[in-house]
Structure 1
Amino acid sequence: MDITSVFSPVTLLLCCVISILGLVLIKCVLGWRWSSRSVRTLPGLPRLPLVGSLLHLRSALPLHLFFTQLSRSYGPLFSLYMGSHYTLVVNEVSLAREALLHRGREFAGRPKMVTTALMTRGGKDIAFADYSSLWRSHRRLVHSSFALFGEGSSKLQTIVLEAAENLCSDLQACRGQRVDLCPVLMRAVTNVVCRLVFSSSYRLHDPELQQVMDYNDGIVQTIARGSLLDIFPWLQIFPNKDLAKLKECISIRDKMLSKKLEEHKLTLTPGEPRDLLDALLIGQRDSAGEGDITDDHVLMTAAEAFGAGVETTSTTLLWAIAYLLHHPQVQERLHTELDEYVGRDRPPSLSDRSNLPFLDSVLCEVLRIRPVSPILIPHVAMQDTSLGGHVVPQGTRVVVNMWAIHHDPKHWDEPDSFRPDRFLDATGKKITPPSFLPFGAGPRVCVGESLARMELFLFISRLLQRFRFSTPSASSLPDLRGRYGVVLQPLRYSVTVTPRY
């Protein structure tokens, strides 16, 4: 979501008037003078006390496009203030790699924000929690739990393949009709996460599945409108419908997940995990004494699997189909590759990935041209450090504009064109350009990357093996501009699904 869209002159004036009261003004003015001396040499947007650069961030463009535009004037690294928060915006891959990889631990912190604190019980998840020894223990637990259940085994692949097969059955029943893929894809991906996390498998109209989808969508939609609250936390004192809705959805989510957790505790068999919750509980017991990993950490890990896993995977699949509608020759080439190396007698499996380099390259090009997270979750400098030769004080927020990196003409030929072959070498083998960072990098790289890549490959390969997707008659092609909220989503569109056999 464009953060500036929530601002009006009246709102900003209110922010100024209330913030000026008492010692807040003194603190902010002193902080302004200190920080101005510290970052004198770094190009940046103008700022005012208290509201920072917000008046200069008003634009009709989504924030990632506006930042990209600003980088042409201010350079690939520039500064601004989100209220009183000094923030650097990174728009170039070498700077991103310096911040995320080479100085990854120095920039591994996370900002404290109202909405994410509510969503994660004060930072007891992986994505939004601040960097600490406890966070490292928690992340190791999550990695070992994935290894214990799924990654490197057939369990997870079986779950995804069954969900893909059910999805194909739903689409088979719709052949020849106009289909809105969004709800059916969302349901299929949600079912994967439900099976993965707590072993529940749902039929089409199961009320519990609908409850999961409803609360997850409610959290995603309201968190996207919480930008102003995260900049000015004191706004919590005023009535806020979005904040009330967010709390309600979180309450429903936590009640359901807590029930699942207690059921798992009663039926747990050590050494035989049925799902991710079992694996987390086993790992929690085995790691006792290595860090205070509580039930809240386990619950927030499960919650994060829904919040991060459902929206990102389903959105990427929707973008993939949208681009195939625009490029039918790419879809035909995918059909040919699948027919040649997999055939039609069995579903594709992960072992086929090396034989399907073009399919893999199409998924990479989708992740490049329409990154699900055009702007990564902000990082925070854990100590005084530097970036691009500029001094960076401790506490500085760093925002990586992945859109600019994935559309940089210095590294991508015709970056706005959909060209999957850019991920293939001259012999047709898959390559990964150094400017391709769809899941981030370094200590805060997405913990669910391998799961996401597995789901994307298995879903799209099975769908294209079974069906041909086309634009319904009298309909226009999907709009490729997208809508930015928590993730960059395509606008809703319809397709005609034709069975290939």
Structure 2
Amino acid sequence: MVPLLGVLLLLLVLLSSWRLAKGKAEPRPKYPRSLPSLPIIGSLLHLTGNCQFHLLLHRLQKKYGSLYSLQMGSQYMVVVNHYLHAKEVLLKKGKTFAGRPHTVTTDILTRNGKDIAFATYSPHWKFLRKQVHASLSMFGKGTLALEKIICREAASLCESLSSFQDALLDMAPELNRAVTNVVCSLCFNSCYRRGDPEFEAMLQYNEGIVNTVGQKSLVDIFPWLQVFPNKDLALLRSCIEVRDQLLQKKFKEHKKALGSDSVNDLMDALLRVQLNMENNNSQLALPLELTDDHILMTVADIFGAGVETTSTVLKWAVLYLLHYPEVQRKIREELDQKIGFERHPQLSDRQQLPYLEATISEVLRIRPVSPLLLPHVALTDTSIGEYTIRKGAQVLVNLWSLHHDEKEWDKPEEFNPGRFLDEEGNRIYSPSPSYLPFGAGSRVCLGEALAKMEIFLFLAWILQRFTLEVLPGQPLPALEGKFGVVLQVQQFKVMARLRAAWRDGV
């Protein structure tokens, strides 16, 4: 009996030693610190209040650290507030975190992810993005044609502003029309005059989409709520119905004219790819396809994102120029010295206008057009820094936190274009690794190059001709934005006064 007990004790000691050794060899996973969570609702009670969502997530890092997690209903989310973690998600492990979540609103918007922005990472997504990138690159033989289109719209914009002398003007519709016409030229080879019913319909449906998508609404957190009446969901569906009618009209026109060999816009290019794929698939049985829905949703994606993001940056730029007239004065002086009044600004002038470029960079920093990048999803079990991230976790990169990090930016709440200039006045493209205005990696903004061209040329043309002011004695417009899929500017009015040289007919 005694020898048997001894053997059992020896086995227990060996088993305990083995477990300890295994525990040391395989440490327990370390997960990001989490906000308190309750069954069903998750952390929602800690995400309420008057504070906008990106600002709330920014403030929570003081208590939970720069990387923390929370529960939105049953959805597990990791919030990234530091550039080192952001670059790991976007660049170092870009493909691992390249997934996208399915939500009620985005599925309605994109016909269940048949676009580029909201579709999850897959071979089909890679193929579609490659085709769009190739189509945009070859359109109009490149940058020169794009510049010509943008300058055409800049001239039209300046003409419209000239007609509002000595009157307060809401510049938003004029900026929207100018940017819309650039993107329409790319997508549909068409443009609109002020007051065009189709253009007004586009503005209306786009506003409705922006106001309902990306708001972290309850129906996206609890999908079963869509069975109940929902005002926002009804608005979204009605806006998409209008959008789809316009898209279908363009689609039929383009498909009817497909017989010619010329490719005039993005829809032409995608239809041509579709036709070639159908011919090849019939012979080779290739697994990929490009359906009509893919073409329509991709064009809608490029159109919606291209209009809303760029026009929003321009509105923020005008707003900050009103608040900082000395910045506006310096830009005008730079334009006068480097370009004068004999000709209009061109893309080739960018190197000669570092202060204007620095001002644009500072606008993109202080008011990032997308304060929370579209959510990423971990496609496998992985990690961020020392923390374990489970497959299926959503990852929110808080661009606002990156751009307002006091350890990276001196007085980040101050508008200071000088932070993007060196001591000699030359432009610094990225004074901090925490500057990521268009994201990075495999899901970087597809329209980054076009947006930069538009913002530069539109602002250069406007400030060469006009001084932007508010009425004497009137308060300046608010600098607080409205959170959504983009950080919207509150409505404001401005006086665009023709400068003396232009009034005198120079």
Q: What TM-score does the superposition give when structure 2 sets the normalisation length?
A: 0.89
Q: Deviations over 1:12-45 (max 9, x none)?
A: xxxxxxxxxxxxxxxxxxxxxxxxx986642110
The answer on whether the counterparts of 1:198 and 1:276 sit within 8 Å (CA) in structure 2 is yes
Inter-partner Cα distance in structure 1 for 2:185 and 2:31:
52
Q: Deviations over 1:131-180 (max 9, x none)?
A: 00000000001100101114733222222111111111111010111111
Q: Which has the larger radius of gyration?
A: 2
Partner of 1:102: 92
Deviation at 1:286, TM superposition (A): 4.3
Partner of 1:189: 179
SS in 2 for 1:81: strand
Partner of 2:398: 401
Please tell me the residue identity of whatever aligns with 1:464.
L
Aligned in 2, Cα 1:373/1:473: closer, same or farther, shift over 3 Å?
same
Higher mean alpha-carbon deviation, 266-275 vs 450-459, is at: 266-275
Q: State yes or no: 1:284 paired with 2:286.
A: no
Q: State yes or no: 1:476 paired with 2:466.
A: no
Matches within 5 A, 1:27-42: 41-42=31-32
Q: State yes or no: 1:62 paired with 2:61.
A: no
Partner of 1:328: 325
SS in 2 for 1:178: coil
Higher mean alpha-carbon deviation, 266-275 vs 389-398, is at: 266-275
Deviation at 1:345, TM superposition (A): 2.1
Higher mean alpha-carbon deviation, 70-79 vs 425-434, is at: 425-434
Matches within 5 A, 1:84-483: 84-150=74-140, 152-223=142-213, 227-268=217-258, 272-286=262-276, 289=281, 291-433=288-430, 434-483=433-482
Please tell me the residue identity of whatever aligns with 1:480.
L
Q: Deviations over 1:108-128 (max 9, x none)?
A: 000010100110011011110
Inter-partner Cα distance in structure 2 for 1:400 and 1:445:
13
Inter-partner Cα distance in structure 1 for 2:320 and 2:493:
13
The answer on whether the counterparts of 1:148 and 1:279 sit within 8 Å (CA) in structure 2 is no
Partner of 1:495: 494
Please tell me the residue identity of whatever aligns with 2:257.
T
Any runs of at least 4 consecutive aligned residues in structure 1 with deviations exceeding 4 A, and if so which?
Answer: 37-41, 286-290
Inter-partner Cα distance in structure 2 for 1:445 and 1:394:
22
Aligned in 2, Cα 1:168/1:39: closer, same or farther, shift over 3 Å?
farther
Gaps of 5+ in 1: 1-36
Inter-partner Cα distance in structure 2 for 1:140 and 1:224:
25
SS in 2 for 1:139: helix
Aligned in 2, Cα 1:103/1:127: closer, same or farther, shift over 3 Å?
same
SS in 2 for 1:298: helix
Aligned in 2, Cα 1:258/1:39: closer, same or farther, shift over 3 Å?
farther
Partner of 1:25: none
Count of aligned pairs? 465
Please tell me the residue identity of whatever aligns with 2:124.
L
The answer on whether the counterparts of 2:77 and 2:393 sit within 8 Å (CA) in structure 1 is yes
SS in 2 for 1:452: helix
Deviation at 1:371, TM superposition (A): 0.5
Please tell me the residue identity of whatever aligns with 2:452.
R
Identity rate of aligned residues, in percent?
Answer: 51
Please tell me the residue identity of whatever aligns with 1:499.
L
Deviation at 1:413, TM superposition (A): 0.9
Inter-partner Cα distance in structure 2 for 1:407 and 1:351:
31
Aligned in 2, Cα 1:38/1:476: closer, same or farther, shift over 3 Å?
farther
The answer on whether the counterparts of 2:358 and 2:421 sit within 8 Å (CA) in structure 1 is yes
SS in 2 for 1:280: helix
Partner of 2:5: none
Please tell me the residue identity of whatever aligns with 1:282.
R
Aligned in 2, Cα 1:224/1:377: closer, same or farther, shift over 3 Å?
closer
Deviation at 1:270, TM superposition (A): 5.6
Please tell me the residue identity of whatever aligns with 1:390.
Y
The answer on whether the counterparts of 1:100 and 1:107 sit within 8 Å (CA) in structure 2 is yes
Deviation at 1:282, TM superposition (A): 2.5
Partner of 2:19: none
Deviation at 1:271, TM superposition (A): 5.0
SS in 1 for 2:95: coil
Q: What TM-score does the superposition give when structure 1 sets the normalisation length?
A: 0.90
Inter-partner Cα distance in structure 2 for 1:57 and 1:166:
45
